Structure 1
C-alpha cells in the first residue's frame, strides 16, 4: 500500500527536564503521567557546572534509568545549554513540567514563553499530585542530612544511594 495511509504517524515526543539531584517521587509522578501521553519521553538531566550536586550527573542518569525502566518509553540523557536546543536535536515539540504551587507558575510561565519564542516548543504544565506538592530535591537532601525519614519521598533505590552518599560525607568531615 502506497500513499498517506501507509505512512507511520510521527512519534509524539516530550521532554521532562530537571536537575534530579536526587530524583523524587514527585518527579516520577510527572514522568509517569507524561509517559502515558507521549510515545517517547526524554528525561533531560541538566548539567550546571556552577552547582555542586550531591550526585554526579552520571549517577543521576543511572538512578533515573533504573527507576523509569518500567515505563518502557522513557529515555534519560544529560544536556548542557538551552533546553530548546536539546529539543531541536531530537525533534521534541513539547516540554512537560510539573507545577507544585502558584509560585512555580510565575517562573515557569516566563520560561515557557521564552522557549516558545526561541523555537516554537510548547510547554505543558501538569499539576503535581497533592501528595507531592511540597516536595523538592533540596528539601529531601536537607531533611535526609539531618537524619529525617524521607523513605516515602524517594524510590527505595534512591533512598539507599542517598543514605550511602550522606554517610560517606559525614565520614569525611
Structure 2
C-alpha cells in the first residue's frame, strides 16, 4: 500500500474564476500520470473576481465529489509551501500559448530553485486554446450562456 510519501501528488494552483473545460482537461490528463491532484484555489488581487473564494471552492468540491484522487482547497501562501505541506512533489500547469510558456517557465524555474518542487506542464488541447476564465467571466457578466466552456456538472453560483 502506498503511503502519502510514495504517492505522486501535484498541486494545481489557480483562481479558477470559473473553472473551465480547459482546466478539467488538465486534471483528467494529469490523473493519468499522478496519484492525486490538489486543486488549490487562490485569490489574485490583480484580477477582478466574479465568484468569491468560498463559492469557487464549493463549486469544485461539488464537481469532484466522489473522486478521491482530487482534493480541493483554498490557499493564501506560496504554492511551493502548500506543496511541501501536502507532500506534493509537483505543480501542474497548462500552457495555451507562447506567452503562457514564458510566464510559466520563469515561475517553474524559481519554484524549483527555492524548493525542489518540479512543474509538470501540459499543453492545452487545440480545441481549448481559446478558452480562458477571463473570457468566461466576461460572458457571464453580460448574461451569456457559458455551458460549452465549463465542465458538465459544474454548478455556477447565481449572480444577483
The alignment's TM-score, normalised by the length of structure 2, stands at: 0.89
Q: Tell me which of the two structures has the higher relative contact order, counting C-alpha pairs closer than 8 angstroms and 6 or more residues apart.
A: 2
Structure 2 counterparts to residues 1-173 of structure 1, below 5 A:
10-48=6-44, 51-69=47-65, 71-158=67-154, 160-161=156-157, 164-165=158-159, 168=160
SS for the counterpart of 2:148 is coil
Instruction: State the distance in 2 between where 1:104 and 1:50 align.
Output: 17
Structure 1 gaps of 5+ residues are: 1-5, 169-173
Structure having the larger proportion of residues in helix: 1
Cα drift, residue 7 of structure 1: 7.8
Cα drift, residue 145 of structure 1: 2.0
> Contact 1:34–1:96 (CA<8 Å) still a contact in 2?
yes
SS for the counterpart of 1:65 is helix
Residue equivalent to 1:171:
none
Structure 2 gaps of 5+ residues are: none
Instruction: State the distance in 2 between where 1:139 and 1:98 align.
Output: 17
> Contact 1:16–1:41 (CA<8 Å) still a contact in 2?
yes
> Contact 2:136–2:149 (CA<8 Å) still a contact in 1?
yes
Instruction: State the distance in 1 between where 2:114 and 2:156 align.
Output: 40
Cα drift, residue 39 of structure 1: 1.1
SS for the counterpart of 1:36 is coil
Q: Rg bigger for which structure?
A: 1
Cα-to-partner distance string for 1:121-155 (whole Å, 9 max, x where unaligned):
00011011112111111100112222333210013
Instruction: State the distance in 2 between where 1:80 and 1:158 align.
Output: 24
Instruction: State the distance in 2 between where 1:91 and 1:40 align.
Output: 11
Instruction: State the distance in 2 between where 1:159 and 1:144 align.
Output: 13
Cα-to-partner distance string for 1:79-105 (whole Å, 9 max, x where unaligned):
112111001111111011011111100
